[in-house]
Structure formats: C-alpha cells, structure tokens
Amino acid sequence: MAALAAAMSDASRMKILCALMDGKAWTATELSVVAEVAPSTTSSHLSRLLKANLVICLSQGRHRYFRLYSKNVAVLLEKMMGITFQVSSPSRSKVPQELLQARTCYDHLAGEIAVQLYDSLLKNNWINSDGKGVTKQGQEKFLQLGINIDEKTRRKKCCPCLDWSERKFHVGGHLGALLLSFFESNNWIERVPGYREVVITSKGKKELHRHFNINV
C-alpha cells in the first residue's frame, strides 16, 4: 500500500492518471501536455506508474500508447476523487458545469445525468433494488433498445458506482459500459477529445426523456 501510494504521490502523475480515466489510450506526448511537464519528465513518470501496475503500455507499430492497468485502478481513482471532493457550493463552483452534468468514469457514464439514469432504472424496475443486477423486465427493455446484455460476462452485470460529485449512485459494471457505448454509437452523446467531459446531443436530450424521463 505504501509503495502504491508513493507511486501516486506526485501531482503530475495524478494528472496523467486522471486523464486516462476517459478509458482511452494516450501517447506519452499527449500526456506530457496534460501533465504540463517536458516529454522526458513524462517518460520518467510513466515508468514509475508502469512499475506500480497503475498503467500499461500498448505498442502498435512504432507508436506506444498508455492506458490504466485495469478497471480496479479506475475504481480506486474515482473513490479518491470522492474523498477529496467536498460537496459544497465553493468546491462545486471550481468544477466546470459541463463536467458535473456528464462525464466518463472510465468505461461508463457519470455526473448528474448518470445519477438520474440510475434513479430512473430503479424506479421503473429495470435493475434490482440494490442496483446489483438487471431484472427480467429490464433485460427485455434493454433488448428492445438494442442493448444485449452478455449473460456470460465475467464482470458484474450491473453495480452501483458512487458518483464523486453527486454523492449518489450511477450505473457501473457491464451494463454501465454497454450504456455508454450505446449512447455514443447512437449519437446521444459526444465525447470532448482529451477530456472526460461528455456533451448530450439534441437527439440525446429527446431520447433520454423519451426512454428514461430524464430532462437535460
């Protein structure tokens, strides 16, 4: 635990880890811009993170890409954000409203909209009361939307993930990842390149209200 904490105990390395929370792979050059340090310094930081199993390196031809080591690392970072973020007017005012409204939490959706979505799924009995499973009715409804839940997945089919800015749950697990992918592929949302921020499109606003009674 001490070794892990030591690997994370640098502001630039934390900027790198937080950038990778968008679930995508980044180049060292891109991460150096985010961390606001020289490329050589970024390489040193990435080496430290690699040794601590916080990130992995993917090689494709001459290019090298970095991403978080696993979903467990993303969960750890999200919980750390929740601990360090105090829900009060002054602290919330420091966070861009767009980020509070909708953002990625590694491979699923977070923010105000995601919390409303979780509440809607509970209210309409699409997921179990504890948020840890999908109901038979929910499976049928998701299938009608075009979301096919893999019964053989090794991930939790559905799980409540505590939202660090709202202090309420949003949808995580296999279902959370499917929903984010579905929203993006159907143009309900658009990701802001290089950031965790997610924009709800005009189509998305209509569809979210139509299917989940969410007002954006």
Concatenated DSSP letters for 144-207?
Answer: HHT----TT-SS-S-EEEE-TTTSSEEEEHHHHHHHHHHHHHTTSEEE-TTSSBEEEPHHHHHH
Average pLDDT over residues 180-192: 94
Average pLDDT over residues 159-175: 88
The reported pLDDT for the residue numbered 213 is: 94
Q: Are residues 115 and 20 in the same domain?
A: no
- Number of compact structural domains in the chain: 2
Q: Are residues 155 and 206 in the same domain?
A: yes
Residue pLDDT, tens place only, 72-118 = 898 899 888 877 766 555 555 566 677 788 998 888 999 999 999 99
210 pLDDT band (50/70/90 cuts)? very high
Last residue of a domain, one of 47, 69, 91: 69
Q: Are residues 92 and 42 in the same domain?
A: no
The reported pLDDT for the residue numbered 120 is: 96
Q: Are residues 189 and 89 in the same domain?
A: yes
Provide the residue range defining the domain that includes 133.
72-212
Residue pLDDT, tens place only, 137-157 = 999 999 999 999 988 888 888
Last residue of a domain, one of 21, 42, 69: 69
Q: Are residues 203 and 107 in the same domain?
A: yes
Residue count of the chain: 216
Q: Are residues 96 and 45 in the same domain?
A: no
Domain of residue 50, CATH code: 1.10.10.10
pTM for the structure as a whole: 0.71
Q: Are residues 88 and 54 in the same domain?
A: no
